Structures are given as structure tokens and as C-alpha cells.
Structure 1
């Protein structure tokens, strides 16, 4: 039975469709931004494809000055956000725009808080400072994975403690999200697949989680349906705008779901993995963990887990409960195969001797996600999930 007891809060204006990136100047002007800090990734891909120039030209045409902070890397650190906040203040920017994947947008959101409130990112991650206000944020995702463009989280790594955790605050919902599927067409195959799995696991864990409500189910189910229908076609149709549009929409839905229901133990463990191994892309780490997570979770939430197969229109009504659970796990495995992501943690550099440290890191830093997971998982459960994924 759905939990009809919830708060629904979606303060982000979403502008969705092909070509809408050219509206960013108009949208920024409506927010009163006169000088923007454009936060994006290191390397030349977004410049090479013209996306940085598209954004800067649109801003310029609306009379908005722009300073570029192109320093973001995978699994960004608290220190990087501090540097960006210093740049933002030094140029007296009154708005922050994140262009790129989840890392770029999360750094932009973090900068928007620190530049206005002061302090350092580490203080917000540890809860020593409360994020209560931020500069106006515009998010422009170029991947279909994190959903950070519509949620209240900004994930950073504290390299001193190897804690990969989130600043969580309603203050860092982007004011506007520009979702243009044209910007995702140039994602290479591996990153296309990895970001899709990120969105999928957001939907799965929020749907399965103890914090799920009717609203969480609504958005999570929509994301699951969309991804199971369109993701299998992705790698053979990388430039197909229809497929990219549906996956970007699914990522947005999953982002709303986790903002209202959170993720769980799979994300807690992956954050530990990518804190210890910062070269590991979040979605790749999740792909390595997904099947062992499914085998742990399936017997603890049987009916809801089976419903994942129903959302994909898999015929299970004549099966026993155990057969239906196995059919659903097989569905997840087939998705990974079609995305060429049947990988193990050992392929990512994780070793047997690290498993307890990884589990303890997850339990210590992300207890809130462990607590959202059915079955009250113990440290030994976490180690076993990791071991089965190794």
C-alpha cells in the first residue's frame, strides 16, 4: 500500500526540449543575474562540441557578463568548491551556472552556498555550518544520470577523511534547470551507459527505500519504466534525440524521487568505493554493485521488487514469488549486459582486503542511507554485498 503521507517540494523551474540551451540568458536575466560564474569540467569536450560557447553567447546576448571556472573533475573535492567560491567572490558574481554532469552541477551548487554564506565546504559537509541561502543557481546537465538539476544535494569528497557525502539543503535546489537532450548526444558510449545506470539506481533505491511515499513511487516508477524501455536501445543509437530525451526525462524523475525519498545502501557503498578510488566513475561503481544489491534486497521487499518487472511488462503473474524475484534480477542483469556494464569491483581496482574498510566508511559517513534500506543491514551485510560484487 502506498504511503499517503508526504511533503512535495519541487521549487525548480524546468525548461525541457531540444534547443532550449539557448534560453539560458533569458532565464538568467529573469533571476536578476548580471554576472554569472559558469562552472564546468576540465578538458576540452564541452568546448569542442560548442556547448560552453552556446551558454556564454546566450548570456552575453542578454547582457550578462560571464566568468568561466572550468576546473571540475570526477568525484570533486571540498577544496575544489572552496577555490570556486573564492573565484565567484573575487569576480563579484551574483549567480552560478553549472554546465556538465553531476560533478560540475554539484560543484556549482556548493559554490553558490559558500560564496554567499562564507566558510569552507568541509564545514557544510560535516554539519558545522547549515546551508540556508545560496546565490541563484541554473543547472544545465549534459548527461542523463544524476538528477542533481532538480534536487537538494551536492556531493563532494573530503579527501582528509575519505568521506564522500552531500551537502543537503533546500537552499541549493537550482532555481532553473535547462534540460536539452541535444547536449547529451555527444556522450561517449561508456559514459552514456554509466550515467543511465546512475539514474536507474536512484529510481530503484528511492522506490525500495523505507522513506518511499506515493510521490516517491510516482516519480521512481516513471523513471524505471522509461529507462527499461529506452536504455537497451542506447548504445546502438547514441545520437538518437528521442532516446536521449526519454533518458534525460527519466533522470529528472529519479532526481525528484531521491530528493523526497533518498537512496540507500548501494549508493552508500559506491560513495565509499569512489572515495577510496577517485578515478572510478559513480555510475560504473553502481553498475558493479547493482546485482549483489538486488540479491540482498529482493527477499526483503518481495512485492515491490517484483513490481519492477511489472513496470517493464515482463510476464510474471503465473510465476511463484521466488521465480518472479529471480526474473526481476535477470531483468536487471540483462539491462547491464545491453549497456555493456557487466563489470566487477575487482575490475575497478578494489581488493578483498579493502572490503571491511569500505563497509565501515559507508556505515560511518552515510548512516542515513543505510537507515533507509530495508532489512536493517549490518556491517557484515555490507561486506557481503561488496564481496559478491568483487
Structure 2
């Protein structure tokens, strides 16, 4: 089922309270992948997002991936610091949001002897999870990475020093669900036109293991159900350029593989843009987009919208479950992925996308019902998260282990 049926779900000027009533009524009878709700961007920001069970209201971003953002970090959606914050670190001249953020980290977190004497500068936020932030730092035309623990407001150290300076778009990083490891995709310094997967400990800041995937466009993401031992990786096996594999760390052992992710193409490059797990880890979303740059014509919107396809795969065996297709007026090469990536609800049982109909350039939001998977415990988690607001979850009279489960934190052994 595609998103072309959007006009059948137009809820007009429905208020937030009516959205809550409508969602409760529909989720009882709707089948998985059904369209639950549709609204405009303004309605989404003015209350429909919260009424539908979503915390995030930012669904579009004018940022360019190669300038202020990277595929795993959006300057408009980040929740690390308030980039509009005023203070002595910010001058009166107009600055971009990321310039303010870079100065914030350099002034408040990076020790003075590193930023002023050794000339370290923040080039980007490589990735973050919870209170852990990994920065892309440069010094004397060399790349290295810095770790900040916002829980204790401390810069904990530097790792991964390289002999050259890399551009932001050449790097991809992700912190493991337990915040102990960081996996970074980085251009190889020993083999031409190749990339390395390097796994670092964020506590010792040592390189634990590395591997060279057979294809440069391979993407990865951690399974949220495991502390740091399970990955989903695309094009990980030689001769399997249209595949998704579940990989076990630290030995890089392949657990399962789907050799045909995209039904329309033989290779995932250059159409695969992002890889993302559902909140409970039972599904994997592979987001495809038609190629081509339309940045110059964006304001006039004289070009055709790009086609987005979200292939949904089983998180345990990589089997293809579903595909949602829709259209979007954006550039998949340079635009922030926020503009076409799916957004998951607090309970993890609903997915929101922003899209355009072919006959209009107006942006609107659609909310879909995801299949309820897992055991009874997971179903109870969904119901609890649909009943209580996120800020009340830590206050519930439950053991800490259950509170962590409600927050989708992996169980430590």
C-alpha cells in the first residue's frame, strides 16, 4: 500500500482533541500499514503531532547536508543544546546555527589548551545518543574525534587521529545503544577508493576492530535491542550489492541476509539514503530515493518530485515485510534527510512521513499504523506509552529495569 491514497484521509481542520479521539477509534480496528491520520505541517506543529503520539514536530529542514548537517545529525531537530542561546560566547554578528553550536562546544566543553593552544576546531557533530556526543574535530588539516558526556558536562578525550582532514559527508558514525562503542565509516588511508568500518571504545578510546566492506556505499545501524553486539548492514557481502545483513560484533559474523532488498534495481547505490531500526528493533527501514539534484529549481518547483520508497524488513531474519512509496519535492543528494525520512511515535507503533501529492506542492503529514510485533511485554509497553506522556515515564512506580524497558534501552547482561 502506497501513500498515494492520501486524499482519502484528509481530516481538514480537525483539532488536537479530535485527533486523539480519532486515533483511539481507528487503532482498534485498523490493519497494519493503514493510514491513520493526515494533516498540514502547521497543524502538525500546533498540536496534531502530540495528539498522534509524536514528540518531534520538525519534519522539514532547509539545512544542506554538506554544510550544516550530516546524515545522522540535523541542526534543526537536535536536542543537545539550545542553538539560539545568547551569551558572551556569541558575537552580535549574524551566524549560522551550526557556527553557534561549534562555538558552544569549543567554549564550554573542549579544554582551553586544546581549543586555543593546540588549535582544535569543531567541524561537525558526527553522532550522538542520549548524553553522549562524538564530535568531528580538525587540527592542522588532520581529522580526529572527541567525546563529550553531557550527563557530567565533561570532555572525556580524543580518539581516531587521522593524518588528513576529511569532509563531513565522507564520514558516518553511530553510537551503540549502551553508549559504550562508536562505529565510524571513514575513507581508507591504505587502500584507494575504499572505506573502513572502525569500531572504537568510547571509554578507553581505543580501536577495537575494523573491516573493509566490499562496497563503499554500505550503510549500518545498531539494533536497539542489543547493547552493542548486533548491526544491520547493507551490501556487506561480496557479490551481494542489493542486500541487507544482520552482523554480530565483534567478529563481524553474518547472522542472516536478504539478498534482494530493492525489487526494482540490482544495486542499492545511489538510491539507498538511510537505514533505520524501529524503536523496538523488530523492523528495519531502508529508505530509497530517486537520484538527481534539483537545488537550483527548488524555489520555482518546476521539477518533478522525487520518488521515495521505504522498504520494511524483519529485524530478526531480514525478510521483506512491506513497502511504502510516496512523492516529495526535495533534493535527495544535498537536502537534510529529515525532509523524507520516516518519524516514529513515542510508543513505536506509528510512523509519520511528510510528502506531496503529484498535483500540488503543498507539504502534508501522514501517519501510518505499524504492525504490533514481539511478545506480550512489548504490547504492554506500547499501551503504557500511549497512555502516559514521556516525561511521566520515569515517575511511574516501577522498578528501574522496567523504566529502562519503557525507554527502549537494551537490557544489560
* TM-score of Structure 1 vs Structure 2, range by shorter chain: under 0.3
Normalised to the residue count of structure 2, the TM-score between the two structures is 0.26
Higher strand proportion (structure 1 or 2): 2
Higher helix proportion (structure 1 or 2): 1
Normalised to the residue count of structure 1, the TM-score between the two structures is 0.27
Larger Rg: 2
